[in-house]
Structure formats: structure tokens, C-alpha cells
Amino acid sequence: MESCSNNVAEYNALLIDLQLAQQIGVQYLETYGDSKLIVNQIKGEYEIRHEEMIPYHHATIQLANTVDGFYISHVSHLQNTNADALAALAAMLALPADTNYRLTMATRHLFYPKYSLEVSEVHTISTNFEPGNL
């Protein structure tokens, strides 16, 4: 698996969140992230300064627009203890690379390489993701 930056990982987590919500028919989605940069980029408050992040941002906005209401907010790392605990548990349960063991509970692509999100045209997308829009 190809390594990625923290920002790419954050966008991937958000893409998976939105994709799952779409698949199960969620109409209104409230989500929280501990990356202030990513949350504010999605809300349209920060610009995307790194060109390699544009495909991730564009794909996230497209998926967010598939639900009737979408709210995203920032939570600090200190307030995100549940997610941190789950991440720690997953890290503890990780098997060594040379271990052969198969257990499939669910499968999901956990990484979207930049080239799979390429955009042929760039358009300005109006984002107004606030709680009152739900």
C-alpha cells in the first residue's frame, strides 16, 4: 500500500464516511473531524493550497452534495478520545507482516490514490455546510 500524508488520510476517512452514508441511504449527516485544516477546507473557509489535495476535496464535496443535509465540525484531538481509542485498538491488533491469517468482516477500499480522483475540469463549488442547513 502506498504511504500518504495525514491530510490525505483525513480526506480518505471522510470519503469513506460519506460513501457509507450514501450506501445506507442517510439523508442528513453530521460528522466531526480532528483536522481543522480539512474541516475548514470542506466548509469553504480555507483554500486548498496544495494541488494534490484538490481531487480529494472535489470528491468529498461531490459526495457531501448527495445527501439532503451535511454538517461538518472540528473537534480537538483531546475531545476525540473515542476515535483515538479505536485507532489504538486497531494498532494493537495489527498482525506482523509475515503472518498469514484471514478474517473478513467487511471489505472497504481505505485509500483513494490521487490519480483515481483526477478531475478533468475545475469548477467553483459553493459550500455552506452549517447546522442550520440540515
14-60 pLDDT tens trace: 888 898 889 899 999 998 888 899 999 999 999 999 998 999 999 99
Question: Phi, psi (5° rounding) for residue 61?
Answer: -65, -40
Rounded Cα gap, residues 17 and 31, in angstroms: 8
Range of the domain at 109: 6-127
Rounded Cα gap, residues 36 and 46, in angstroms: 10
Q: Domain for residue 98, yes or no?
A: yes
Q: Length of the chain, please?
A: 134
Q: Domain for residue 91, yes or no?
A: yes
CATH of the domain at 16: 3.30.420.10
pLDDT at 49: 93
Q: Domain for residue 39, yes or no?
A: yes
Q: Domain for residue 62, yes or no?
A: yes
Rounded Cα gap, residues 120 and 41, in angstroms: 20
pTM: 0.62
Exposure pattern of 111-127 as b/e (b: 16+ CB <10 Å)? ebeeeebeeeeeeeeeb
Q: What percent of the chain has pLDDT over 70?
A: 57
Q: Please give the tally of structural domains in the chain.
A: 1
Tell me the mean pLDDT in the region 100-110.
50
Q: Domain for residue 132, yes or no?
A: no
Q: Domain for residue 133, yes or no?
A: no
Q: Domain for residue 71, yes or no?
A: yes
Taking a C-beta distance cutoff of 8 angstroms, is the pair 83, 13 a contact?
no
Q: Among the listed ranges 25-29, 76-80, 91-95, which one has the minimum average pLDDT value? A: 91-95
Q: Domain for residue 20, yes or no?
A: yes
